[in-house]
Structure 1
Amino acid sequence: MQNRTRGKHFIGVLCDANGRGGGKYVEAAKEVGRQLGTAGYGVVYNAGTGPMGNALASAAMHTGSPVVGVIPRRTMNELLEGRSAGLPIGTLHVVETQVDNARVLQSFSTAYVALPGGFEILESILHVVGRADSRPLILVNIDQFFSGLISQLERCISSGFSRRSTVNILKVAHDVSEMSGIIQRELAGAK
């Protein structure tokens, strides 16, 4: 069952939390936060020291949207010790492991959005798909970032290793505007 704060549905945003992404990806994260907040959704995300998560959270909070950050204890300790820049947070959940991170994101999320990122993002995507969750997962495929992953998932299906029903939750948006339309269609009547 999804956790709702003040009657809002939350979108779980899988984004790089460690500061490796930049430029167009940070701008995309900012636009995702703005569009989700403007549409009335709360945001739950992988909090950390990276610019993508910070841009996402700041933009969503600027619209008045509730924001929940999920952060590893080690990263939180670094923030408290002043070794990292601050973080724009609403509510913060400190977790010990990646499994705990996934559990908290799942407990809040009505749907998921994945932005380009590293291995942690790929792991999170496969975790959502692998548990046959019925909630939609929208891949924001900026500059075809996820095209290789999509091809590999199709190959798993065509080779008989996976069922089509397992990946039917995946939706592909080529930009943030298309993401908003997909969320609106997928969650019609859920708000």
Structure 2
Amino acid sequence: MKSLCVYCGSSYGAKPVYAEAARALAKEMVDHHISLVYGGGNVGLMGVIANEILRLGGKATGVIPQALMDKEVGHRELTHLHVVKDMHERKALMAELSDGFVAMPGGIGTLEELFEILTWSQLGFHQKPIGVLNVDGFYDGLIAFLQNQVAQGFVKDNQASLMMHETTPLALMIRLQTFVPQPSTKVLDALAAKTLLP
């Protein structure tokens, strides 16, 4: 793994532990010679992790839409900065540049990015590892909700397991680097279910 896409908030959150976790993840990435790919911002946790990567001598690549760059939230001191036309192009390029994905605490945009990349994995569009850094229980509710989707028959166990989760950057990094992709069965499962309908 040479590059990791990190989804995280453009806010700092209510607790200092979130920024501390962003800096800890940055250190693990630099220690493992893994470069950062992220949304290109210089605010919130986005700015924290990018600045820490750079401070430690690592490489940080940002991808940001022109509209956000115009609002002066773009980070202008990155190793590489790609300014794109919209959010769709942003997410596609971030995925293309990355060997894996991590969601840190964040808002609606972070969740949207996480679930889109999970959906792409579920459908077999990529076979890259996806992890959630569950800082101070931030993602406990989401993890429980996903398990409820399994229990209610809307998500398969193997699909839910695509979202790995750990509470420390080191443990998550180990999971990401030892991930073994499995063939997607989503389309075959849908076809099989269709044959069972009356």
Instruction: Report the TM-score when normalising by structure 1.
Output: 0.82
- Name the structure 2 match of 1:5: none
C-alpha deviation, 1:96, in angstroms: 3.0
| Structure with the greater alpha carbon radius of gyration | 2
- The 1:100–1:85 alpha-carbon spacing in structure 2 relative to 1, beyond 3 Å, is closer
Gaps spanning 5+ residues in structure 2: where? Answer: 181-198
- Name the structure 1 match of 2:157: 164
Instruction: Report the TM-score when normalising by structure 2.
Output: 0.79
Q: Compare 153-162 and 116-125 and name the one that shifted more.
A: 153-162
Partner Cα distance (1:27, 1:96) in 2 = 32
- The 1:85–1:120 alpha-carbon spacing in structure 2 relative to 1, beyond 3 Å, is closer
- Name the structure 2 match of 1:150: 143
Contact 2:11–2:43 under 8 Å retained in 1 = yes
C-alpha deviation, 1:61, in angstroms: 2.1
Superposition CA RMSD, Å: 2.1
C-alpha deviation, 1:20, in angstroms: 4.5
- Name the structure 2 match of 1:37: 30
Partner Cα distance (2:59, 2:13) in 1 = 24
- The 1:120–1:37 alpha-carbon spacing in structure 2 relative to 1, beyond 3 Å, is same
Aligned length: 175
Matched, 1:106 2:98: no
C-alpha deviation, 1:142, in angstroms: 0.7
Q: Compare 161-170 and 148-157 and name the one that shifted more.
A: 161-170
SS state at 2:48 partner = helix
Contact 2:17–2:136 under 8 Å retained in 1 = no
Matched, 1:93 2:93: no
Partner Cα distance (2:174, 2:2) in 1 = 16
Matched, 1:125 2:114: yes
Matches within 5 A, 1:11-22: 11-16=4-9, 18-21=10-13
Gaps spanning 5+ residues in structure 1: where? Answer: 1-7
Contact 1:54–1:87 under 8 Å retained in 2 = no
- The 1:130–1:184 alpha-carbon spacing in structure 2 relative to 1, beyond 3 Å, is closer
